[in-house]
Amino acid sequence: MKLASYNNGRRDGQLMLVSKDLSKTVAVPAIAHTMQELLDAWQLLQPQLSELYDALNDGLIDNAIDFDESKCLSPLPRAYQWADGSAYVNHVELVRKARGAQMPETFWTDPLVYQGGSDCFIAPKADIPLGSEEWGIDFESEIAIITDDVPMGVSTENAEKHIKLLMLVNDVSLRNLIPGELAKGFGFYQAKPSSSFSPVAVTPDELGARWEDSKVHLPLITHLNRELFGQPNAGVDMTFNFSQLVSHVAMTRPLGAGAIIGSGTISNYDRSAGSSCLAETRMLETIADGKPSTSFMKFGDRVRIEMLDDNNKTIFGSIDQQIVEYKA
């Protein structure tokens, strides 16, 4: 299934069922009004939605309308939890080098996760308002999953069944604020403003054979100011898969339905694939030339994040956003 949340003027939006080709959509208030309502009763409601989804794809729903990505909020406009991992250790190595930090060997055996702000996600086509270019504005192109209720201590083997939906993420980072915050020992806060998610969230079965071993085996495509920036394959060089990330996050606490867990920035050792964030590119430039030549984002810059299927069709719709100056 494919699902979205339309902006209806309310905090949690209107749950929408979306056709496989993203051409048609329909509200399903008889089943659930919001994405969170659906996730709270997934086991009960999913079979009903699945039947409607088949009918929508077959053109049998009379009140279906054209799907419009610009009307979408993030699939979960707010969530009880947003925990972002760093599953691509190649990326971790490079960005830590960029700020002169060593990478402990445990990074290869134990996932790294930070807890982000989940009360005010930005819509996928909305501007990203920030107070200063001096903060070192960076995008991070990622994949995230949404879970149902996950029991504390769930094993990696049992974690995958709790992964109900997948979506794309722009996990904005303010690189020049990170070193000072991390030096205090408590982790990110000001350096991580609101994140954005793709217009559409999809069930894993929508990816077919491209969903294997709790990984998405497709390139994640990023354009910066309408020029291709990177297209690394999300299934390659992923040190920890999503089942491992779920198990890690749930080691000492249960996860409530609607918990979002991110992959971290997609990164390949094959440099020809490009990058999914500016910090990584800047570090590679520093290694090659002694200094970075790519600047961080400026007001007016635009980033687009998208994933295409084997037929070159968009799966999740696109995140397409401009950086703007925030004025109170």
Predicted local confidence at residue 328, as pLDDT: 84
Share of the chain above pLDDT 90, in %: 89
Burial of 208-234, coded b for 16+ CB within 10 Å and e otherwise, reads eebbeebbbebbbbbbbeeeebbbbbb
Q: Across the chain, what does the average pLDDT equal?
A: 95
Predicted local confidence at residue 78, as pLDDT: 98
Q: How far apart, in whole angstroms, are the C-alpha atoms of residue 60 and residue 46?
A: 19
Domain boundaries, the chain: 2-71, 77-325
CB contact at 8 A, 281 and 108:
no
Q: How confident is the model at residue 99 (pLDDT cuts 50, 70, 90)?
A: low
Q: How confident is the model at residue 59 (pLDDT cuts 50, 70, 90)?
A: very high
Residue range 293-318: mean pLDDT, rounded? 98
Residue range 285-301: mean pLDDT, rounded? 93
pLDDT tens column, 120-175: 999 999 999 999 999 999 999 999 999 999 999 999 999 999 999 999 999 999 99
Q: How confident is the model at residue 98 (pLDDT cuts 50, 70, 90)?
A: low
pLDDT tens column, 5-38: 999 999 999 999 999 999 999 999 999 999 999 9
The CATH number that domain 77-325 falls under is 3.90.850.10
